[in-house]
Chain A
Amino acid sequence: MNLSSSIAKTYIFSNKKLTAVAVLGVLLGMSVYIFMNSLLVGFDKSSNASIFRNTSHIRVYKDDEMSKSLNQDSFSLSLIINPKVVPTNNTILNPNMILATILKQKDVVAATPQVNTNVFYNKGRLQISGFAIGIKPDEANTMYNIKSFMVEGDFNVLKSNPNAIVIGSGISQKMNLSIGDYLNLTSSKGINRSFKVIGIFKTNNSVTDKTKSYINLAASQQLLKEGNSYITDINVNVRDPEHANKVAQELTKITGYKAEGWKEANETLMATNKMRKMIITFVSLTILLVAGFGIYNILNMTVSQKINDIAILKAIGFKGKDVIYVFVKQAIFIGIVGVIGGVMMATILITILKRVYLGGDIGYFPIDYEPLKFMQGIIIGLVITFFAGYIPAKKAANVDPVAIFRK
């Protein structure tokens, strides 16, 4: 071991209490930082997961158009106009061509047509309003992973049976339906049709579970008295959901239809997430910083206590940078031990919390070991320790030995 390291070591071990306090500070700061940020990632993942069960990354649909005045000439007489939604069909024209165009975009990984139908579910005298979603079963499953939240039945049957329906658990409960039962649907166009319940899903979002059902695309088109080119939505998934809004803008340009990213569609939720992220980032960084202050304080104290030693070391030929090493090495030692302890502590905390069941929309506590956050914590922790050590070390390096010897 070289000289500055062994001096640093002696100082660290001759003052075990102070060292322990500094290490503990880093340990706590680190573990809280990693823990809170892993939790943040977990929250986002779980909230995104529940969004992506219902929503694709991008939804392409025909937006309502407002009527415009026919006369665009601003020099003519004043016009009184009464803008209204133009009562056109909200279908996407030539959906196959548009689908093909969308699929050609390089960020797009999947695209599937969909027909949203407002319906009444009827059983006996009981009637619930809701919406039946016409889908292509396989494509929709790759997009929403419907099978993962099926609680009963087999989703694959939907492909082979044009009269099959998969209903939310809320509907099944309210109407006392189980697999194999028949359910009557009435559409807004007055069409009545019976479907066979072949599956029940549960998203943990009670509104969705009480209103939503999946049927075949063709069945939904028939409910609306439309032909097989009638498509209300094209749902698109992209490689990185974080870039969905950007891709959506391009799709709007290319297709001429309104393309809406999931973040845009869930603005309130996004704002909440953002706020949560800001608070957690701020608090966890502050805690790490406070741990840094701990090291700074303790090393500052050590420098004051050892000012005679520093003067002697300089008198016998230590350069400024040698003195800096002595003290920075102490900080690094404290930092490394604290960081290792903090990583262990965070791992333990996460392991325990992962097993806590919360229920509801969330299920298990939404936390996992996030390697990125561990890395971030370790790096930030070490950087903070380094600077917390460097500032007092710099002070030590500037000690004027003569001034000390004269005292």
Chain B
Amino acid sequence: MNTVLRTENLNKFFYDPIEFKVLKNIEFEVKKGEFLSMIGKSGSGKSTLLYILSTMDNDYSGSLFIDNELVTGLSKDKMAEIRNEKIGFVFQFHYLLSEFSCLQNVMIPALKLGRLSVKDIEAKAYEKLEILGLKDQALKPASKLSGGQQQRVAIARALINDPIIIMGDEPTGNLDSNNTRLVFDMFQHLTRSYGQTIISVTHDDDFAKKSDRIIEMKDGEIVKY
């Protein structure tokens, strides 16, 4: 199997309020179709690492390869394109555009990518919402949905461009066990059937154990993988 994500000697400092090394020599790789869980105590640097992997944070030293391409050092615009096309991101707190309908929220990354017609994008968005059990909520404004529903809409949005990697920062953190299972099953299905890759930070031990591989972080270092 080939590698879709790889890091070399990642280091990151925070300087405010005091100089502090959050990430220490992070080196790991993720294979295509892998379902990876990242665990570790709060403050161990998981979110910080995930933001770097997702190309949103580029204030670090070391190298990041996505889809066998060196991403480190690319222009911000180029990274935005990579995020749009290759990465789906799910945040712990849903983060939808509240004035838009669920459907529109899901459609936006695809409209940005601009590969399909608006009609096809809409059909595809409906399809993703249906998988997450939200088809009947499609036209509601995002702000009218419950937290769990919003989180599932955010997952649908992360899937719309069929990204090669889906990253989640505690994507099930606010979901009940039913929804958590639903999300897990779907992630697993995506890796098995479509060869998509999942990197998910979680505090849910069950969730982690069922996944393909666990990386544990401690004080900015990977301690187990």
Question: A: which residues have CB within 8 A of B?
Answer: 3, 10-11, 14, 308-309, 311-322, 401-402, 405-406
Contacts of A320 in B (CB 8 A): 76-77
Min Cβ gap A14→B in Å is: 4
The docked-state distance in angstroms from the alpha carbon of A318 to that of B100 is 17
Judged by DSSP, the binding face of A is helix
Contacts of B54 in A (CB 8 A): 315
Contact mask for chain B residues 15-53; partner A; CB cutoff 8 A; 1 contact, 0 none? 000000000000000000000000000000001000100
Q: Which of B83, B89, B91, B97 contacts A309 (CB 8 A)?
A: B97
Selected interface stretch from B104-112, B122-130, B176-184, B196-204: B104-112
Q: Does B56 contact A (CB under 8 A)?
A: yes
The docked-state distance in angstroms from the alpha carbon of A334 to that of B10 is 46
Q: Does B194 contact A (CB under 8 A)?
A: no
Apart from the given pairs A309-B98, A401-B56, 13 other A-B contacts in the complex at a CB distance below 8 Å:
A3-B112, A309-B97, A311-B95, A312-B97, A313-B108, A314-B56, A315-B89, A315-B95, A316-B84, A316-B109, A316-B112, A316-B157, A318-B80
Q: Does B67 contact A (CB under 8 A)?
A: no
The docked-state distance in angstroms from the alpha carbon of A315 to that of B89 is 8
Min Cβ gap B83→A in Å is: 5
Contacts of B109 in A (CB 8 A): 316-317
Question: B: which residues have CB within 8 A of A?
Answer: 47, 51, 54, 56-57, 76-77, 80-81, 83-85, 89, 91, 95-100, 108-109, 111-113, 157
The docked-state distance in angstroms from the alpha carbon of A3 to that of B107 is 10
Q: Are A405 and B99 in contact (CB under 8 A)?
A: no
Q: Which of A14, A316, A319 contacts B76 (CB 8 A)?
A: A319
Q: Which of A3, A316, A322, A402 contacts B51 (CB 8 A)?
A: A402
Contacts of A11 in B (CB 8 A): 99
Q: Are A315 and B83 in contact (CB under 8 A)?
A: yes
Q: Which of B91, B111, B112 contacts A405 (CB 8 A)?
A: B91
Q: Are B83 and A317 in contact (CB under 8 A)?
A: yes
Q: Which of A308, A322, A402 contacts B95 (CB 8 A)?
A: A308
Q: Are B56 and A402 in contact (CB under 8 A)?
A: yes
Contacts of A312 in B (CB 8 A): 95-97
Q: Are B100 and A10 in contact (CB under 8 A)?
A: yes
Contacts of B99 in A (CB 8 A): 10-11, 14
Q: Which residue of A lies closest to B100 (CB)?
A: A10
Contacts of A402 in B (CB 8 A): 51, 56-57
Min Cβ gap B166→A in Å is: 12
The docked-state distance in angstroms from the alpha carbon of A314 to that of B87 is 12
The docked-state distance in angstroms from the alpha carbon of A369 to that of B100 is 44
Contacts of B51 in A (CB 8 A): 402, 405
Q: Which 3 A-B pairs have the closest CB atoms?
A: A317-B84, A316-B109, A14-B99
Q: Which of B81, B95, B97, B100 contacts A317 (CB 8 A)?
A: B81
Q: A308-B95, A402-B51, A406-B47 are contacts. A315–B56 as well, Cβ < 8 Å?
A: yes
The docked-state distance in angstroms from the alpha carbon of A193 to that of B56 is 100
Min Cβ gap B25→A in Å is: 21
Q: Are A317 and B113 in contact (CB under 8 A)?
A: yes
Q: Which residue of B lies closest to A403 (CB)?
A: B57
Q: Which residue of A lies closest to B169 (CB)?
A: A405
The docked-state distance in angstroms from the alpha carbon of A222 to that of B194 is 113
The docked-state distance in angstroms from the alpha carbon of A309 to that of B99 is 10
The docked-state distance in angstroms from the alpha carbon of A320 to that of B109 is 15
Contacts of A308 in B (CB 8 A): 95
Q: Are B111 and A317 in contact (CB under 8 A)?
A: no
The docked-state distance in angstroms from the alpha carbon of A3 to that of B118 is 10
20 A-B pairs with C-beta separation under 8 A: A3-B111, A11-B99, A309-B98, A312-B95, A312-B96, A313-B108, A315-B83, A315-B89, A316-B84, A316-B108, A316-B109, A316-B157, A317-B84, A317-B112, A318-B80, A318-B112, A319-B77, A319-B80, A401-B56, A402-B51
The docked-state distance in angstroms from the alpha carbon of A402 to that of B76 is 14
Contacts of B77 in A (CB 8 A): 319-321
The docked-state distance in angstroms from the alpha carbon of A316 to that of B108 is 8
Min Cβ gap B110→A in Å is: 10
Q: Which of A3, A309, A314, A406 contacts B80 (CB 8 A)?
A: A314
The docked-state distance in angstroms from the alpha carbon of A321 to that of B47 is 27
Contacts of A10 in B (CB 8 A): 99-100
Q: Which residue of A lies closest to B95 (CB)?
A: A312
Min Cβ gap B97→A in Å is: 5
